[in-house]
Structure 1
Amino acid sequence: MRRPNILVIAGHDPSGGAGIQADIESVAAQGAHAATVISLLTCQDTTNVYGVEPVTTDFFARCLDTALADMSFAAIKLGVIASREHVAIIADRLKQLPDVPLIIDPVLVAAGGGTLANDSVGQALRAQLFERATAITPNAREARALCDGDSDLERCGVALSQRTQHVLITGGDEAGPQVINRRYSDGQPGQRYEWPRLDGVFHGSGCTLASAIAAQIALGRDVGDAFEQAQHYTWQTLNRAFAAGRGQRLPARTTAFSS
């Protein structure tokens, strides 16, 4: 039995709440396989990020080349990327995979406020990879940062969708009784998805969602269906979230959920 391979490029979170471990669990729960290349190591817990150590550029390129030489991929998911140099390497290697769907979760800041990627990395992603992406999945804070601080999410969504095929702006970090996620395509006004807001603060929800989208697309769903299925799965993981440490709760990604 074969499963579609997803190439995941992201960071390592020792708490297991976000980053590579979240990606592996989320992809596996959809019925796909995650092959991973780590861009950076973090010192973090369920509360915040306290330090970041990028993987050296040469070793990062070697790891990526090794994975690409051995395996075929049905989708690619990017999480936090360490540097502009890493972005350039990824952009170059993606020339070998022109038809493979690319999902970008542009992780710039941790939920606790710690910085994971600096502004130059966000600019490099926007300049070199957004045009290649099938979808990007920023939260509201990241969407505003990618739109040079524009506070209007509708305007941000339309602007970002002119740079890439599809945009899903998540609203978990916004206020309100409902979580409102917004989809934008082809520079058009957004489609809204509304989800009941759950009590508490969660660690790794963005990684969970983006990886589920990548896996759903790899399994043959179109982008609209993948967005819906991945959001349903992610909400269920948050509804059953658990406290692994003293901070934010972690999504229960490894439990099987109905569609």
Structure 2
Amino acid sequence: MRPTVLCFSGLDPSGGAGLQADIEAIGQSGAHAAIACTALTIQNSQQVFGFEATSKELLLAQANAVVEDLPIKCIKSGMLGTTDNIAALAQFLREHPDYLYVLDPVLV
């Protein structure tokens, strides 16, 4: 089974950034991408108009469901959207100290 990267990031409806870009890049590297969606964005290829963040409870529920089933090797974070989601990711990383972690600093 291919190694799995769990991505915490936003969903870009234009497909050019966020989870879609993560899935494509991770797949091209030979790994499998699993996702925990942090936000739904309102954007196109030119501009971000806004976003609706996922609750920290829903975010952690997504991530915990994935780690119960797939062989996670790495966590990658992009847009987190809120301080609650930053805290949720920090909690998740503390609970899983053996995972590698990649931070993609995103400006919103």
1:80 lines up with 2:79 in the alignment: yes
**Bigger radius of gyration:** 1
What is the CA-CA distance between 1:29 and the residue it aligns to? 0.5
What is the CA-CA distance between 1:106 and the residue it aligns to? 1.4
Q: How does 1:224-243 map to 2 (within 5 A)?
A: none
What is the CA-CA distance between 1:74 and the residue it aligns to? 1.1
1:54 lines up with 2:33 in the alignment: no
1:98 is matched with which residue?
97
What is the CA-CA distance between 1:57 and the residue it aligns to? 2.4
Is the strand fraction higher in 1 or 2? 2
1:112 is matched with which residue?
none
Q: TM-score, normalised by structure 1?
A: 0.40
What is the CA-CA distance between 1:99 and the residue it aligns to? 2.2
2:16 is matched with which residue?
17
Deviations 1:137-182 (A, max 9, x none): xxxxxxxxxxxxxxxxxxxxxxxxxxxxxxxxxxxxxxxxxxxxxx
Q: Secondary structure of the equivalent of 1:76?
A: strand
Counterpart-to-counterpart distance in 1, 2:67 and 2:87: 16
What is the CA-CA distance between 1:59 and the residue it aligns to? 1.4
Indicate conservation of the 8 Å contact 2:22/2:33, yes or no: yes
Of structures 1 and 2, the one scoring higher in RCO (CA 8 A, sep 6+) is: 2
What is the CA-CA distance between 1:26 and the residue it aligns to? 0.4
| Count of residue pairs the alignment pairs up | 108
Indicate conservation of the 8 Å contact 2:55/2:85, yes or no: no
Counterpart-to-counterpart distance in 2, 1:68 and 1:82: 22
What is the CA-CA distance between 1:37 and the residue it aligns to? 0.6
| Structure 2: gaps of 5 or more residues | none
Q: What letter corresponds to residue 55 of structure 1 in structure 2?
A: T
Counterpart-to-counterpart distance in 1, 2:30 and 2:63: 23
Q: TM-score, normalised by structure 2?
A: 0.93
| Structure 1: gaps of 5 or more residues | 109-115, 117-259
Q: What letter corresponds to residue 57 of structure 2 in structure 1?
A: D
Deviations 1:72-114 (A, max 9, x none): 2111110010111111111111123212210001102xxxxxx
Counterpart-to-counterpart distance in 2, 1:53 and 1:77: 20
Counterpart-to-counterpart distance in 2, 1:61 and 1:73: 15
Q: Secondary structure of the equivalent of 1:74?
A: strand
1:195 is matched with which residue?
none
Counterpart-to-counterpart distance in 2, 1:104 and 1:27: 14
